[in-house]
Structure 1
Amino acid sequence: MILVEHLLEAPRGARGFDVLCEQLQTLCTFRNFIVFRFERGRQPTLVHTNLNFARIGEQMESYIRGLHMLDPFCRVDSDGHSGLFRLGDIAPEAFTSSEFYRRHYRFTDVIDELRYIVHLDEGMSAHLFIEREAPASPFAVTEIASFQSVLPFVTAFVRGQLRHGGNGDAGALPTTFNLPEKVRAIAPDKLTEREVEIIEMMLKGHSAKSVARLLGIEAGTVANHKRNIYAKLEIHSQAQLFDLFLRTL
């Protein structure tokens, strides 16, 4: 069981997050613990990990540069929600077939991911990644409930560590992240606003059926838009579309 007094006595900085990780691991076993800070108008910053810090920074370089815009957890955050979330509960139905999923998780054997999202100062939040890798089993309902039960303590701890600047300012480069603008930049002046919307949703892992439902159009109309998009961009697959998107980052 998590010991609150240990969190209260934890120092600021890396050792403090080590203590938090150790306490969370008393609830159940997990492999990866990664902390990112997000701030509006800036690149996300890797704050802490129980893994090799430099290696994780290299592996997540594309994520930091802009792929986080496709992250389902970031959508939840931008919608104003905070708390504990599970990837499988919030991701689009075709997410595991998306190029983002294939490439972002290509360095790992992650089979399940939970994430605490903690709102800090205005326009700033922290994400605590808690991941299991194969051959371990996905998180059980009872284990998720245990993480949920300590949400108030985790929230208070993270705010104490990271509010008002906190850790990890180095490397947080000013930049503008606007997903529609990045999509338009794939082919300036060629794509219609509807095509930009559909590309966004495809990149995020929505199926044609899901796109049609969310936009209130027929599935056949989505298919027609997709054909037009591929023709305009002179591509033949979502992998090629994703590569074009990467270039805009």
Structure 2
Amino acid sequence: MQSTRTTHSAADNWQKDLAALIDTTRLPSFSSMLEKFLASQCHFDSMLVVTFKKALKPIIIHPTDPAEQSLTLHNYLNRAYILDPLFNAIQSGTLGEGVSRLIDIAPDSFETTKYYQSCYKEFDLIDEINLVIELAPKVSCAISLGRRSSRGTITRAELTRLNAIYPIIKSIIRQFWLSQSQEFVQYEKSEGAMNQAISTFGSGVLTPREQQIAGLILQGHSSKAIANLLEISLGTVKVHRKNIHTRLNTSTQSDIFTLFLAHLKELDPTASI
């Protein structure tokens, strides 16, 4: 994640920052100016900008400086993104354009997952605010603003400001993408077998329904949430979970996650997490 960016103390300078941002839509400095402008509207400790296209690996727009790209970020781009609530919400169509918080889109047991422990808790992120913009059919841009516990969760006033400026940000991001997308899509790589990672996990050992439930467990859904999603009884889900552990010789969600990582390694030996 990126280093802390100090929020402007004088919010009345945001018009100048907006003008500067518009002037850089065709320049390499665009993402830095975007960060500066957003910092005039909302406090945050990190900013990540990525684009999602269908089932392809995310393309990073910011930060592009290798010195600002942590190992966690590389792991996310390599394979961990397939367990990302934001990625899955966009892919499934349950999250459209607009401003949202991670807490509003994450599965109900997301904080118990290994993905959360490594990508959020380890870095002391207590809140994440996402601005999602549709760039083209099946292509979305997500601006993720992370806040550490020292800042607390986003205030109502900050969220109101972000919602107010969202239409402006949306228009500017689209203009940026029209002018600079070729600088990024040339590095676009297909995830290949990765889009089958969850659906093939446990193949030959688990039943199709158990594979489906194992995937939902990995994403952070509780038994109750799984029951609601699949329209089956809570008791049935519990039976399936018990069978999953028996068949995989596991006893905890962490054990399942470890096996899932091994499965990913088999699918893509060049990736790391």
TM-score using structure 2 length: 0.82
Q: What is the 5 A alignment of 1:1-249?
A: 1=11, 2-3=14-15, 4-49=18-63, 53-78=66-91, 79=93, 81-163=96-178, 165-169=181-185, 171-176=187-192, 181-249=196-264
CA distance in 2, matches of 1:76, 1:84: 13
CA distance in 1, matches of 2:157, 2:182: 33
TM-superposed CA distance for 1:171, in Å, is 4.1
CA distance in 1, matches of 2:206, 2:188: 31
CA distance in 1, matches of 2:206, 2:82: 20
Aligned-residue identity in percent: 25
CA distance in 2, matches of 1:167, 1:115: 23
Cα shift readout 1:4-30 (whole Å, capped 9, x = no counterpart): 422221243441111111111111321
CA distance in 2, matches of 1:38, 1:191: 30
Q: CA RMSD in A?
A: 2.2
Cα shift readout 1:99-150 (whole Å, capped 9, x = no counterpart): 2211222541111100111111232211111111121111011211110111
Q: Does structure 1 retain, via aligned residues, the 8 Å contact 2:58–2:77?
A: yes
CA distance in 1, matches of 2:131, 2:37: 15
Say if 1:160 and 1:49 are closer, same or farther in 2 by CA, change over 3 A. same
2:8 aligned partner: none
Say if 1:138 and 1:167 are closer, same or farther in 2 by CA, change over 3 A. farther
Say if 1:74 and 1:177 are closer, same or farther in 2 by CA, change over 3 A. farther
CA distance in 1, matches of 2:160, 2:28: 27
2:4 aligned partner: none
TM-score using structure 1 length: 0.89
More helix by share: 2
3-state SS, counterpart of residue 201 of structure 1: helix
Say if 1:163 and 1:229 are closer, same or farther in 2 by CA, change over 3 A. farther
CA distance in 1, matches of 2:177, 2:248: 43
3-state SS, counterpart of residue 93 of structure 1: coil
Say if 1:167 and 1:248 are closer, same or farther in 2 by CA, change over 3 A. farther
CA distance in 2, matches of 1:131, 1:56: 15
